[in-house]
Amino acid sequence: MLTLTINPTVDLAWEVGHLTGIGKNRARVRSVAAGGGGINVARGVVRLGGRATAVHTSGGEVGLRLNRLLDEEGVDHVAVDIEDETREALVLFDTASRHSYHIVPAGPGLREHEGLRCLDALEQAAGNHPYVVASGSLPGGLPADFYAVVARRIKEAGARLILDTSGAALSGALAEGVFLLRCNRTEAASLTGRDVLSLDDARAVNEHLLTTGAAEVAVTTVGALGAVCSTGHGHTELHAPPLPGEPLSDAGAGDGMVAAIAIRLTAGDDPVSASALGVAVAAAAMLTPSTEPFDPEVARSLRPEVKTKFQTRA
C-alpha cells in the first residue's frame, strides 16, 4: 500500500486533569507521534497486518523530528524535502470531562516545484501498488486541483486512487474522478450544500458522486450512525456496531476506516465488504483517547456487528 501525505504533522498528545481558564493547566505528555492523513492510514494498514509506504513532505526541525518518529516506529516512508517548517498539532484530553480537543494549524506553504517533486516521488514509488491513498488537507501554495493531478498520475501508473480530503482540495479533485472517495458528513455537505444528518442523506450524496463521475465508489460516513457505500450496483447502508465502552475521541477514526478499506481492497475484497471492516475500525478508534491507534482485535470483534442494508440504484 502506498499513501501520500502532502501536509503531515507531528502530533503532540497532552492530558490535563481539568481544563480551566484560570491559572496554569498542568499537563502530562501522553504521546508524540508522526501524523497526517496518509501517515495515519499507513500506520493503520500495518496494524491490520499489511505493508505500507508513506510518501510525505518534510521541512525544518519539525520535519526532521517527523522523519525520526517514523523511523523509530518502523513505518516505511519517503520524505520529500520542503523549505518551510512542517506543522505541529496538539490533541488535549481533559480527563474530567473525557473530551478531546484537536488543535491543528494550517501548515506550511509549498512552492510549485515542491509540489512537482511530491508528484514525482509518488509516481516513482507507485511500482506495483494496485491502490494509492491520498489523504489529508492541502497546504497553501498548491492549486485546488492538485489531487486531480495526483489522480491522473496514478491512473497513468496503472493504479487506483483512494481519496480522503476536504474543502477546495476535495472539490478540485472531482473533475478528474477517482476510484474511491471517502467523505465524512461535513465534507459531503460541502459538496451539495445540504446537511448530511442521516443515511438517506449520505445515499443522496453518493448518488450525486457516482452520477457525475467523481468516483466509481463513494463512501460517506454519518458519525455514530455508520456509513453508506455506493457502487454502480447500488447503495449499502453500513450500520455502526454498538460500542463496548465509552467513546473517547473521533480523532483518527476516518483514517482508520480508510486503512481498512485499502488493505481489504488490496486483498481482493469488494468495496462493500472492505467498507464494513472500515466501519468496525472507525468504531474501535472511538474507544481510544486523543490520536492513539485503534486496537485491531477490537475492530475485528466488532466487524460481525456491522449490519448492512442494500438498495439498488434508481
pTM recorded for the entire structure: 0.94
Going by their DSSP bridges, the two strands 160-164 and 76-81 should be labelled as unpaired
Task: Give mean pLDDT, residues 193-217.
Answer: 96
Residue 263: exposed, middle, or buried by beta-carbon count in 10 A (0-12, 13-18, 19+)?
Answer: buried
The closest alpha carbon to 230, from 189, 271, 186, belongs to 271
- Statement: residue 68 has pLDDT above 70: yes
Strands annotated E in the chain: 2-5, 9-16, 27-35, 53-58, 76-81, 87-94, 99-103, 131-135, 160-164, 178-183, 215-221, 226-231, 234-239, 307-312
Specify the pLDDT at position 60.
Answer: 97
Marked catalytic residue, from 76, 255, 269, 295: 255
Separation CA 240–CA 87 (nearest Å)? 33
Q: Which range is least confidently modeled, 93-102, 106-115, 173-182?
A: 93-102
Task: Give mean pLDDT, residues 2-9.
Answer: 97
pLDDT tens per residue across span 144-195:
999 999 999 999 989 999 999 999 999 999 889 999 999 999 999 999 899 9
Specify the pLDDT at position 290.
Answer: 67
Task: Give mean pLDDT, residues 73-93.
Answer: 95
Separation CA 62–CA 272 (nearest Å)? 39
Residue 58 pLDDT class (50, 70, 90 cuts): very high
Task: Give mean pLDDT, residues 56-68.
Answer: 98
Specify the pLDDT at position 75.
Answer: 93
One-character DSSP codes across 177-229: -EEEEEE-HHHHHHHHSS---SHHHHHHHHHHHHHTTSEEEEEEE-GGGEEEE
Domain ranges of the chain: 2-8+36-86+108-312
CB 59 within 8 A of CB 84: yes
Residue 249 pLDDT class (50, 70, 90 cuts): confident
Specify the pLDDT at position 65.
Answer: 98
Residue 128 pLDDT class (50, 70, 90 cuts): confident
C-alpha cell at 107: 501548515
Percent of the chain with pLDDT over 90: 84
Average pLDDT, the chain: 94
C-alpha cell at 94: 481533559
Task: Give mean pLDDT, residues 93-114.
Answer: 91
> Looking at this protein, which amino acid is placed at residue 123?
E
**Topology annotation, domain 2-8+36-86+108-312:** UDP-N-acetylmuramoyl-L-alanine:D-glutamate ligase (3.40.1190)
Q: Which range is least confidently modeled, 48-52, 236-240, 289-293?
A: 289-293
Specify the pLDDT at position 131.
Answer: 96
Specify the pLDDT at position 189.
Answer: 94
Separation CA 198–CA 120 (nearest Å)? 40
Specify whether 255 is catalytic. yes
- From residue 175, give the alpha-carbon distance in Å to each of 112, 132, 178, 215: 21, 18, 9, 10
